[in-house]
Amino acid sequence: MVTTIAGVGTPETDWQSWPGLHRFPPLDLSGCDRVVLLAPHPDDEILGVGGLLRRLSLRGAAVEVIAVTDGDASHPASSTVTPGRLAALRRAESASALRALGLVDATVHRLGIGDGAVAAAEPAIEAVVAHLLADVSTSTWCLSTWDGDGHPDHEAVGRVARSVSQRCGVRLLTFPIWTWHWALPADPRVPWSRARAIELDDETHAAKLAAIGCFASQIRPLSEAPEDAAVLTPAMLDRLSRRTEVVFE
101 or 6: whose pLDDT is higher?
A: 101
Confidence at 7, pLDDT banded by 50, 70, 90: confident
The residue count for the chain: 249
Task: Give, as one character, the DSSP assignment of residue 21.
Answer: G
Question: The pTM is what?
Answer: 0.95
Q: What is the pLDDT of the chain when averaged over all its residues?
A: 95
Q: What is the pLDDT of residue 138?
A: 79
* Rg value, the chain, Cα: 17
Strand 140-145 to 195-199 pairing = unpaired
Query: Which tens digits make up the pLDDT trace of 162-205?
Result: 999 999 999 999 999 999 999 999 999 999 999 999 999 999 99
Find residue 144's DSSP bridge partners.
38, 174
- Around 124, how many Cα atoms within 13 Å sit in the side-chain half-sphere? 12
User: Mean pLDDT over residues 63-74, rounded?
Assistant: 95
Element (H, E) at 135: none
Confidence at 6, pLDDT banded by 50, 70, 90: low
Strand 171-175 to 195-199 pairing = unpaired
pLDDT(5) > 80: no
Domains and CATH numbers, the chain: 12-248 (3.40.50.10320)
Poorest-confidence range of 85-89, 104-108, 155-159, 244-248? Answer: 85-89
Confidence at 3, pLDDT banded by 50, 70, 90: low
Query: Which tens digits make up the pLDDT trace of 208-221?
Result: 999 999 999 999 99
Q: Under 8 Å CB-to-CB from 107, ≥6 apart: which residues?
A: 62, 63, 64, 65
Strand order in the sheet with 244-248: 107-113, 62-69, 34-39, 140-145, 171-175, 244-248, 195-199
Poorest-confidence range of 9-18, 121-130, 131-140, 177-186? Answer: 131-140
Task: Give, as one character, the DSSP assignment of residue 9.
Answer: -
Q: What is the pLDDT of residue 189?
A: 98
